[in-house]
Amino acid sequence: MRLNLLLEKLNLLLEPSRYKDYAPNGLQVEGRAEVGKIVTGVTASQALIDAAIERGADAILVHHGYFWKGEDACLSGIKRQRISSLLRHDISLLAYHLPLDGHLDLGNNAMLGKRLGLEALGQSGEQGLLWHGDWRETGDAARLNAHISSILGRSALLLGRPDKLVRRVAWCTGGAQGFFADAIALGVDAFITGEASEQNYHMAMESDVAFIAAGHHATERYGIQALGEHLMKHEGIKVEFIDLNNPV
C-alpha cells in the first residue's frame, strides 16, 4: 500500500480534525513510499523502533508519538537518536493520540470497556473522552479492582472504600486522573483510569467514589491492537503488535 493512501484511510477512520490535541496526529516522520508491513505499539520508544527494524517494518503506528506541545523542539539526545534510527532505515512513524482514545469502535476507551465488561452508555467531559456506563457484574470496589487486575495482568491501585458497592462506572484510559471530578459529578460509584495523583486519594475518600489506577500503558494497549487488526482485515496489510511492558 502506498504511504499516502494508508494515511488517507487512517485519517478518514480516526478523524483527527475533530480533536484539539497536544501533538500532531497522522504522519510524523516520513519513510519509504510503499508500506508492506506495519509494526504497532503504544509508544514510539527506541525499543519499539529497534524491534520494528529487526522485523523489517516499513512503518510504525503508535498511540504516543513525538513533538508534544511545550517540549524542546531541538533534535538532540533521545529525540535525535529515535528520529535518526527511523530516517536511516527509511521507516515512517504515524501516531494518533486523542483520536485513538475517543474512537467509538476501535478506541482505547471502547476497547478497555469491552475487556472489563463495562456497558457504555455515553461519553461526556472534555472532547467526549470520559466514558460512563454500567458494570455488568455485581460487587464492591475491591472485587472490581481484582477483576481489573486479572484482566490487565497487573496490580491496579484502589483508592477509597474497598467495600463500596459498584454499579455505575466512569472511565478514561491513560493519564486522565484530572477527569475524576467530572466522573464524580456524573454520580458514578467508581472511576477507572491509568494513573493517580496525590489529590485523588482525598477526593475518593471525601466523595465516596472509588478511584482505580490500572496503569497508563496497560489501559492503552487495546486501541492500537484493534486498529492494527482493522487494517489487516480491511486493507490486507501485514501488521504486528509489539507489547513492550511499561510498569507505569
Residues in the annotated binding site = 63-64, 101, 216, 220
φ, ψ at 193 (rounded to 5°)? -150, -165
State which residues of the chain have pLDDT below 70. Answer: none
Q: CA 55 to CA 185: how far, in whole Å? A: 47
Distance (Å, rounded) from C-alpha 21 to C-alpha 123? 18
Residue-level pLDDT at 138 = 85
Does residue 247 belong to any structural domain of this protein?
Answer: no
Binding residues for a divalent metal cation, as ranges, are 63-64, 101, 216, 220
This prediction's pTM: 0.96
Are 32 and 81 in a shared domain?
yes
Q: Quick one: 110 and 65 in the same domain?
A: no
| Domain shared by 74 and 156, yes or no | no
Q: Is the dihedral of CA 124, 126, 128, 131 positive or negative?
A: negative
pLDDT at 78 (0 to 100): 97
The domain total for the chain is 2
**Rounded to an integer, what distance in angstroms lies between the CA atom of residue 160 and that of residue 158?**
7
Which CATH number characterizes residue 164's domain? Answer: 3.40.1390.30
What are the pLDDT digits (tens) for 137-148?
989 999 999 999
Residues 92 and 11 in one domain: yes
Structure confidence at residue 85 (pLDDT): 98
**Bridge partners (DSSP) listed for residue 92:** 59
Strands lying side by side in the sheet with 130-140: 118-124, 130-140, 165-171, 190-193, 210-213, 157-159
Asked if residue 246 belongs to a domain, the reply is no
Give me the phi and psi of 103, to 5 degrees please: -60, 135
Residue 148 lies in a domain: yes
> What mean pLDDT, rounded, does the chain reach?
97
Strand partners, 70: none
Provide the residue type at 204 as one letter: A
Describe the chain by its helix, strand, coil percentages, rounded to 5. Answer: 40, 25, 35
Domain that holds residue 116: 104-219
Same domain, 84 and 113: no
